[in-house]
């Protein structure tokens, strides 16, 4: 019986996989036995999994290409570019939502919930669906259960965005051993084979985010000197520029706007992406849209395209200049530049990078795959399979706390190597005060209102004392994932003090737990459905075999009673066949098997090829 | 904490160094890389939680220490603090007396909406003063290492205060330039 079965009980060590959870596409990679990172293909042979999730009418979840197709037929039930919503509040994304087809559900808290059909999803849950698909891919390919992963994030992701990504992993049933910054991962993929020394830059311009990192490579240590970027700057923005222009054209040509017609807009999105991609290879192309018998065509030259995207490219260069300055290196110290992300295929982008860094950019590795390959290397470092390489990364944003007058007091500066920590002593302002509230922020600006609120920490259960007498030492620790941990200690008693964390954006631990449970329930449903399907497949096989055997001499050698017995067993199996309990189906398969034992023996004896052989349960 | 070694008491102890002000920065980097290889959390991913926590705590201390010790000014500030000198942030109202005139002139200029031609020379001047303070700090550092004791540290505190103030002036000018 050809049923899909993975031997989870085997003693083989389960590998840690590397996952690039991208805005546009996601990939999973692993180190092969020879020590080379390889991308794991999907069942269709493709290596990229479009980061698109769609909820079908029957409530089942589609991920990847099927979901991408659903974007045309059911745009309101389909999410793409969900990474741009990770760790953000609903008031922050209003601009973005204008161009996305899906709706927000009625939100009661700071977490975004997307309404897809009759179900709601937070961005981490959408990410979890993509991760789950990649997990399945890796399990099918490697034949072992995958439970641990390294997931990459844009270097410029803030604490909430990182936490959201980690939550997505947990919901998908993956222990996230490490979040690695995408440009750093790319440098690992490049630097592993060649024992390189010196300073390199990684320019990572993807579907939704831009990062630049400058690293020093020495003796297998990859030390990030500085990083900069923009988590809302990518190929999507270029697509939006083109879409806006085309929408205006269409409105005047057709005499009506299609801006509110999601199906038409998604078709247009496909058309402009195709045109954009073609312009990387030819000097001019045509944006071509056919919709309900009407046609829109617009010639687009590379010259005009370059002109349109120049401000976007210029923004990336601004980040690069700041990064070079922060790294404390001169441009001529940078020996090499590595290009990452699909948007680096654009000739103008390559030219701009070449001019700024005065170095020919590296493109030997596929810019779509290099991050996943690097994640696989980091996964192998964590599992101990790679010993001589070590990554020292930095925190992209400064961390501070709110002080009097709405001013931010900086505790950890951006580009500090992580793990990094800061200690601060707090006291009470009023006699008998039992709580102290600490507001933590991320960002480079002076005022609280210009930084991003990260969380509020409540130091609780302070012994009542005169004002100013309490001394609570708080340690702010940014771990190797770039995520903040806070612990507090009463200096007088040397006791740990409880800290109550209220994240400003993102899910509480309880919410994540709830989503994990929910996904287990769903997984249980899915598992049950699969068992039923498998039982039916098995039933089909044996029923077919019995029907065939009826033509065989062996059938006529049976007694009437034996034949009735078989008929009865067949009928019983047919009766339970459409039920949803796999064990009942299996029971009747078993009975039919027993009833046809004599038949099988007869057939063997008559030296006819045993049709029934191999149909054992 | 049971089962894992206690954390070093200070940054010098992390690097196994004596409390000196002149450090070989290349050697410091080498030690930093070596200790990172040994204690980075990446090396402890599959280990028991207590070991993982120790690796995290030690590496945070190592990284914090490297940031401070590799920078001559921050290193000096840190050593002063270890030796019990108060180097709290200077508030704007206690301007070091030798800088009073400079501060006054700069404030006058900044109020008059200055152009680049006025700001650039001011910036050059302040950067020169900052470099001068750095040289003094280096000289006093050598003096301390040679046995200069608390008198030297006391002088260093004065120079550091001045330098911090000059740094603020540079920042103000650069803000006006931007």
Q: What is the pLDDT of residues B74-113, one digit of tens each?
A: 999 999 999 988 776 544 456 677 777 877 777 777 777 7
Mind giving me the DSSP string for chain B?
-TTSPPPPSSHHHHTT--S-S---HHHHHHHHHHHHHHH-GGGGTTS-HHHHHHHHHHHHHHHHHHHHHTSHHHHHHHHHHHTT---PPPPTTS--GGGHHHHHHHHHHHHT---HHHHHHHHHHHHHHHHHHHHHHHHHHHHIIIIIHHHHHHHHHHHHHHHHHHHHHHHHHHHHH-
A5 burial (CB, 10 Å; 0-12 / 13-18 / 19+) is exposed
Q: What is the pLDDT of residue B89?
A: 54
pLDDT of residue B91: 46
Query: Tell me, what's the pLDDT at B88?
Result: 61
Distance (Å) from the alpha carbon of A69 to chain B's nearest alpha carbon: 40
Q: Is B49 on the interface with A (CB under 8 A)?
A: no
A416 to chain B, any CB pair closer than 8 A? The answer is yes
- Record the pTM: 0.80
Q: What is the predicted pLDDT for the residue at A113?
A: 87
A598 is catalytic: no
Spatial separation of the C-alpha atoms in residues A88 and A207, rounded to whole Å: 18
Q: Which chain B residues are within 8 Å of A480, Cβ to Cβ?
A: 40-42, 56, 59
Let me know if A458 is a catalytic residue. no
H or E segment and range at residue A287: strand A284-291
- The structural domains of chain B, with segments of one domain joined by +, span 11-70, 92-177
Return the CATH number of the domain spanning residue range B11-70.
1.10.287.110
More confident position, A500 or A300: A300
Residue of chain A whose alpha carbon sits nearest to that of B45:
A382
What pLDDT sits at residue A4? 33
Instruction: Tell me: pLDDT of B25 over 60.
Output: yes
Whole-number pLDDT of residue A602: 82
Q: What is the pLDDT of residues A202-259, one digit of tens each?
A: 999 988 889 999 999 988 899 999 999 988 888 989 999 999 999 998 889 888 888 8
CB-CB: which of B37, B42, B64 is closest to A421?
B64
pLDDT of A520 over the 70 cut: no
Q: Is A204 a catalytic residue?
A: yes
**Chain A residue nearest residue B33, CA to CA:** A221
Tell which of B29, B64, B91 to mutate to test the A interface (max A CBs under 10 Å): B64
> How much is the average pLDDT of B112-124?
81
* Mean pLDDT of the A528-548 span: 81
Q: pLDDT digit string (tens) for A340-352?
A: 988 999 999 999 9
Residue B1, pLDDT score: 42
pLDDT of residue A84 exceeding 70, the answer is yes
Catalytic residue among A83, A135, A166, A276: A83
Pick from B37, B41, B63: which is nearest to A420 by CB?
B63
Q: How far apart are CA A175 and CA A160, in angstroms?
A: 18
Q: Cα–Cα distance between A106 and A115 in angstroms, integer?
A: 9
Better pLDDT: B89 or A395: A395
Q: The complex's ipTM? A: 0.88
Which candidate, B20, B31, B10, B12, places its Cα nearest to that of B138?
A: B20
Query: Which chain B residues in 54-93 lie under 8 Å from chain A, judged by CB atoms?
Result: 56, 59-61, 63-64, 66-67
The verdict on a CB contact (< 8 Å) between B33 and A479 is: no
Partner-chain contact B33 A221, CB within 8 Å: yes
Q: Annotated catalytic, A237?
A: no
The pLDDT of residue A81 is 86
């Amino acid at each position: 019986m050809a049923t899909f079965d993975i031997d989870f009980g085997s003693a083989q060590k389960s590998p840690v996989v590397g996952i690039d959870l991208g805005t546009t596409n996601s990939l999973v990679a692993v180190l092969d036995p020879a020590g080379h990172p390889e991308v794991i293909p999907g069942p269709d042979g493709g290596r990229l999994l479009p980061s698109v999730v769609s909820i079908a009418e029957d409530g089942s979840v589609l991920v990847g290409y099927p979901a991408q197709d659903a974007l045309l037929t059911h745009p309101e039930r389909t999410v793409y570019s969900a990474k741009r919503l990770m760790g953000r509040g609903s008031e922050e994304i209003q601009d973005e939502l204008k161009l996305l087809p899906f709706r927000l559900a009625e939100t009661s808290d700071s977490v975004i919930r997307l309404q897809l059909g009759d179900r709601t999803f937070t961005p981490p849950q959408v990410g979890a669906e993509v991760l789950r698909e990649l997990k399945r891919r890796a399990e099918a390919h490697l034949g072992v259960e995958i439970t641990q992963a390294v997931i990459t994030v844009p270097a410029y992701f803030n604490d909430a965005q990182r936490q959201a990504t980690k939550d997505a992993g947990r919901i998908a049933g993956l222990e996230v051993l490490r979040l690695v910054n995408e440009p750093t991962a790319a440098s690992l993929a490049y630097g592993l084979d060649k024992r390189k020394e010196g300073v390199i830059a990684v320019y990572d311009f993807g579907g939704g985010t831009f990062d630049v990192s400058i690293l020093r490579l020495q003796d297998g240590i990859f030390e990030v000197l500085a990083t900069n970027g923009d988590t809302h700057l990518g190929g999507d923005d270029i697509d939006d520029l083109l879409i806006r222009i085309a929408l205006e054209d269409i409105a005047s040509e057709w005499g009506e706007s299609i801006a509110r017609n999601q199906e038409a807009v998604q078709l247009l999105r496909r058309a402009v992406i195709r045109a954009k991609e073609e312009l990387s290879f030819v000097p001019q192309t045509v944006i071509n849209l056919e919709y309900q018998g009407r046609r829109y065509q617009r010639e687009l030259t590379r010259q005009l395209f370059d002109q349109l995207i120049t401000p976007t490219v210029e923004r990336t260069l601004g980040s690069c200049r700041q990064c070079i300055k922060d790294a404390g290196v001169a441009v001529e110290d940078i020996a090499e530049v590595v290009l990452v992300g699909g948007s680096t295929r654009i000739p103008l982008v390559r030219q701009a990078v070449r001019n700024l860094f005065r170095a020919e950019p590296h493109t030997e590795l596929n810019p779509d795959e290099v991050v996943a390959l690097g994640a696989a290397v980091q996964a192998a470092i964590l599992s101990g399979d790679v010993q001589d390489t070590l990554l020292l990364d930095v925190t992209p944003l400064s961390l501070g706390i709110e002080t009097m007058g709405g001013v931010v007091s900086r505790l950890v500066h951006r580009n500090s190597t992580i793990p990094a920590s800061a200690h601060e002593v707090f006291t009470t302002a009023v006699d008998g005060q039992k709580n102290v509230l600490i507001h933590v922020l991320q960002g480079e600006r002076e005022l609280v209102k210009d930084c991003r609120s990260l969380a509020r920490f409540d130091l609780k259960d302070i012994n009542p004392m005169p004002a100013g007498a309490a001394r609570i030492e708080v340690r702010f620790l940014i771990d190797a994932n770039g995520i903040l941990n806070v612990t507090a200690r009463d200096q007088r008693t040397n006791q740990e003090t409880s800290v109550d964390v209220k994240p400003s954006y993102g899910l509480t631990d309880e919410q994540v737990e709830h989503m994990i449970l929910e996904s287990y329930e769903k997984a249980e449903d899915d598992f049950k459905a699969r068992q039923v399907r498998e039982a039916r497949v098995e039933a089909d096989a044996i029923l077919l075999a019995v029907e065939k055997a009826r033509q065989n001499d062996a059938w006529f050698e049976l007694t009437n009673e034996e034949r009735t017995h078989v008929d009865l067993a067949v009928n019983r199996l047919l009766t339970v066949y459409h039920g949803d309990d796999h064990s009942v189906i299996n029971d009747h398969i078993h009975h039919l098997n027993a009833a046809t034992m004599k038949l099988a023996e007869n057939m063997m004896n008559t030296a006819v090829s045993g049709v029934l052989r191999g149909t054992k349960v | 904490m049971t089962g894992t070694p206690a954390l070093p008491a200070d940054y010098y102890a992390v690097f196994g160094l004596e409390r000196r002000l002149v450090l070989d920065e290349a050697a410091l980097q080498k030690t930093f890389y070596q200790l990172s290889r040994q204690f980075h959390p990446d090396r402890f991913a599959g280990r028991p939680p207590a070991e993982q926590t120790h690796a995290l705590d030690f590496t945070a201390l190592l990284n914090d220490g490297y940031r401070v010790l590799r920078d001559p000014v921050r290193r000096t500030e840190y050593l002063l603090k270890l030796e019990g000198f108060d180097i709290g942030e200077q508030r704007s109202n206690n301007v070091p007396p030798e800088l009073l005139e400079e501060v006054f002139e700069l404030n006058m200029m900044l109020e008059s909406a200055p152009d680049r031609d006025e700001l650039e020379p001011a910036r050059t001047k302040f950067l020169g003063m900052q470099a001068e303070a750095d040289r003094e700090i280096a000289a006093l550092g050598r003096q301390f290492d040679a046995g200069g004791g608390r008198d030297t540290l006391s002088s260093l505190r004065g120079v550091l205060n001045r330098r911090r103030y000059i740094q603020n002036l540079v920042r103000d000018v650069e803000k006006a330039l931007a």
